[in-house]
């Protein structure tokens, strides 16, 4: 499962937008590039800053080369061993505690259905994705650049 939480920095009242993709097997660089291509469509060409952990497929040469050609995408790397800063970890945690708790499905379709229900629950509660952001201590944009005094 690959997921993302999108926040509008210029229009926070638009709400957060969770998106995810589920596929059999694991994700490699090529599969993640496909996800990012779908993300580009999902966000309708808006500029996106993607904050990623250190998974090797996130930072492979092929991924960095592909990302360098994308004018809509900026990649930022989370510090090593910092899952508490990863918003998607909080999204997965919410799903695991509700929709996926004690789920022992025989088929991937059951997991996909439960996951879609959870994503819908999170999406329809406008405060929940913002609580994930607040929990990390991260902000969308600082009140002023860190290298400037407030009066500059």
How much of the chain exceeds pLDDT 90, in percent?
Answer: 28
pLDDT of residue 44: 83
Q: Please, what's the largest Cα pairwise distance for the chain?
A: 61
If you ran DSSP here, which 8-state letter would residue 79 be given?
Answer: P
* Number of neighbouring beta carbons within 10 Å of residue 27: 17
Render pLDDT for 78-115 as a digit per residue (tens, 0 to 9). Answer: 888 888 888 889 999 999 999 999 998 788 888 889 99
Query: Is the predicted pLDDT of residue 131 greater than 70, yes or no?
Result: yes
pLDDT of residue 60: 94
Mean pLDDT of 118-146: 79
Render pLDDT for 17-52 as a digit per residue (tens, 0 to 9). Answer: 787 888 888 889 999 999 999 989 888 878 888 888
Instruction: Please tell me the pTM assigned to this model.
Output: 0.75
What would the two tokens of residue 75 be? 């990649």
């Amino acid at each position: 499962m690959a997921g993302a939480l999108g926040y509008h920095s210029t229009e926070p009242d638009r709400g957060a937008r969770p998106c995810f993709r589920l596929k059999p097997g694991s994700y490699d660089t090529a599969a993640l590039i496909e996800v990012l291509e779908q993300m580009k469509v999902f966000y309708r060409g808006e500029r996106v800053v993607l904050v990623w952990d250190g998974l090797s497929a996130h930072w492979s040469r092929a991924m960095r080369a592909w990302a360098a050609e994308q004018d809509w995408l900026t990649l930022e790397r989370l510090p090593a061993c910092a899952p508490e800063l990863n918003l998607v970890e909080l999204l997965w945690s919410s799903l695991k505690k509700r929709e996926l708790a004690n789920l022992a499905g025989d088929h991937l379709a059951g997991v996909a259905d439960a996951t879609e229900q959870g994503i819908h629950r999170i999406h329809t509660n406008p405060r929940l994705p913002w609580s994930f952001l607040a929990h990390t201590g991260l902000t969308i944009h600082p009140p002023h650049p860190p290298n400037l005094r407030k009066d500059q």
